[in-house]
Amino acid sequence: MSNRIFAGNPSSRRLARVLALLAIGLVAWLWPAAWRYVLPALSPHVAVCSAVSLRFASMLFLLSAPMLFLMILRHRFWCRHLCPVGLITETCGKLRRGRKVDDERHTIGKHIRIPSSTGRFLALASLGGSVVGYPLFLWADPLALFSGFCTFSQASAVGLAIVILISIASPGLWCSRICPLGGTQDLMVRLARPNTRGSRNTEVSQRRIFLAAALGAVFSALIPADVLARKRHLRPPGTVDETALKGGCIRCGNCTRSCPSGIIEPSVDSRDVAGFLVPRLKFSRTDYCLEDCNRCGHACPTGVIRPLPLRDKNRHVIGIARIDLSECLLTMDAECGVCVPRCPHGAIVEQFSRQSYTTTLKVIAEKCNGCGACVGICPTKVVTVEAV
C-alpha cells in the first residue's frame, strides 16, 4: 500500500513538488503570516469535524474546499506530492533502506498489527464524536501535528516525533494505515466515486462506517466532561467551554504563534490530562491579552477560539483579577498603586477610607475581563487572574 501511495512517475513527482514549493513560496511572499495559520485549516478532516462539533464554521473553513476537491479528483495526490508529514515519513522510511524491510508487514514491533482501516476508523470516530461535540482523534490530523511541531515548543513536537518513530519502525505504516487525513480521503473517494480504482482498494461496508462513527459518538458522549481536570487554566479570549475546547482543539499551535504578546502556551499539566497541549494563558511582566488584538480567534482553524470582533473579544471574560490585599504595597501605605493606571479597562479602583485614612484596591468585576495587564506590573506579585 505504501508503495502504491508513493508510486508514480518520478519526474512528474519532482515537478509537482517544485510547483508546490513555488506555490507555498508565493503565498508566503504575498501573505507573510500565512504559514502561521493556513496549514491545519487546509485539512477537510479538521474542517468538517470542527464545523459539526461546534455547529460553527469559521472563514478558514473555506480553505479546505479546494483540498476537498483535489482529494476527490486525485485520490491520495495530496499524500504523494504535497503533504509535509508524508515527505517526512518517506524520508524517515528511507533510513531503513539498508536493512531488509517487509513494507507490507505493517506491524509495530513484531506482534502489534495495525489494520489497514485504522485511519478510516480514526476519521469516522472523530466525525461521530463531533456529533456529540467531542471529536475524539482530531488532534491526530497530520497537518495539525506538523503545525504543532512548527510552534517550536518541546511538548507540541511530541505528535510529529511519534509519527517519525512509527515511520522508522515501519516505513509507510503511518501514511497508508493510521493517518486520519488519509483515511478521510479513502472514505471520500468511496463515497464520491464508488467505482474507481482507489475506492476498490478501500472497501468499507456501509455498516462498518456507521459502526465506527457510532462508536466514536458513544465513546465521546461517555467521556466525563473534564477528564482528570483538577486545575482550571486560563484560556485565550473567546474560547468555547472547557469540554468542547479539549475535544475540539487540534493542538496545531496557530493561536500560540499568532499571539503578539506571546502569552498563549500549549498546556502541559498533570492535573489536566485531557487538556494536554490545549492553549492556556501565562502572563508575564509586560505581556497580557492586548485590548487591540483578536488574532488568536481568527487564527484558530477549528473555531474553538471563536473569531470574535474586537469589541466582543474584549468583553469575553478570561478570568477575574484578584488582589491579595494582605501583601499589597498600597494597602500597607507604601508607594504603589500602579495596577490602577495599568488596567486598560478601568477595572481596578482605589478605595479610600476616610475612617482609617488608608487606601485599598478593588477590582470591579463587571469591568474586568481578566486580560492580565495588572498581573505583571505588580511589584509584589499579589495580583492574579483566576478562571471563573
From residue 25 to residue 44, what is the string marking binding to other proteins with x (rule CB under 8 A)?
Answer: --------------------
The distance of Cα 374 from the centroid of its chain, to the nearest Å, equals 29
* Residue 104 in contact with other proteins, rule: CB under 8 A: no
From residue 313 to residue 332, what is the string marking binding to other proteins with x (rule CB under 8 A)?
Answer: ----------------xx-x
- Give 205 or 286: the residue with its C-beta nearer to other proteins: 286
Stretch that binds other proteins, among 129-137, 184-192, 334-342, 364-372 (CB under 8 A): 334-342
Q: With contact defined as beta carbons under 8 Å apart, do 17 and 8 qualify?
A: no
Does residue 277 come out as left (phi exceeding 0), alpha (psi in the -120 to 50 range) or beta? Answer: left
- Give 105 or 381: the residue with its C-beta nearer to other proteins: 381
Stretch that binds other proteins, among 58-66, 182-190, 299-307, 346-354 (CB under 8 A): 346-354
* Residue 286 in contact with other proteins, rule: CB under 8 A: yes
DSSP secondary structure code for residue 163 in this structure: H
Stretch that binds other proteins, among 180-188, 236-244, 311-319, 350-358 (CB under 8 A): 350-358
Q: With contact defined as beta carbons under 8 Å apart, do 300 and 255 qualify?
A: yes
Q: What CA–CA distance (Å, rounded) separates 200 from 56?
A: 34
- Give 178 or 330: the residue with its C-beta nearer to other proteins: 330
Residue 115: count of CB within 10 angstroms of its CB: 11
- Give 66 or 346: the residue with its C-beta nearer to other proteins: 346
Question: Which of 61, 41, 31 has its CA nearest to residue 144?
Answer: 41
* Residue 131 in contact with other proteins, rule: CB under 8 A: no
Does residue 238 come out as left (phi exceeding 0), alpha (psi in the -120 to 50 range) or beta? Answer: left
- Give 12 or 351: the residue with its C-beta nearer to other proteins: 351
Q: What CA–CA distance (Å, rounded) separates 319 from 307?
A: 19
**Locate cell 503578539: which residue?**
260
* Residue 15 in contact with other proteins, rule: CB under 8 A: no
Shortest distance, position 331 Cβ to other proteins, whole Å? 9
From residue 360 to residue 379, what is the string marking binding to other proteins with x (rule CB under 8 A)?
Answer: -----------------xxx
Q: What CA–CA distance (Å, rounded) separates 159 from 137?
A: 12
* Residue 350 in contact with other proteins, rule: CB under 8 A: yes
Query: Considering only residues 333, 367, 386, 388, which one is a binding residue for other proteins as defined by CB under 8 A?
Result: 333
- Give 113 or 381: the residue with its C-beta nearer to other proteins: 381
Residue 98: count of CB within 10 angstroms of its CB: 7
- Cell digits for 172? 509507510
Q: What CA–CA distance (Å, rounded) separates 261 from 377?
A: 15
- Give 197 or 285: the residue with its C-beta nearer to other proteins: 285
Question: Which of 161, 169, 38 has its CA nearest to residue 88?
Answer: 161
Stretch that binds other proteins, among 11-19, 83-91, 179-187, 337-345 (CB under 8 A): 337-345
Q: How many angstroms separate the first and last alpha carbons of the chain?
A: 50
Q: Is the four-CA dihedral 91, 86, 195, 115 of positive or negative sign?
A: positive
Q: What CA–CA distance (Å, rounded) separates 141 from 145?
A: 6
Amino acid at 236: P
* Residue 382 in contact with other proteins, rule: CB under 8 A: no
Q: With contact defined as beta carbons under 8 Å apart, do 49 and 130 qualify?
A: yes
- Give 102 or 292: the residue with its C-beta nearer to other proteins: 292
- Give 154 or 358: the residue with its C-beta nearer to other proteins: 358
**Considering CB under 8 A, how many residues would be counted as binding other proteins?**
22
* Residue 334 in contact with other proteins, rule: CB under 8 A: yes
Query: Considering only residues 31, 341, 365, 388, which one is a binding residue for other proteins as defined by CB under 8 A?
Result: 341
Interacting residues toward other proteins by CB under 8 A: 285-286, 329-330, 332-338, 341-342, 350, 352, 354, 357-359, 377-379
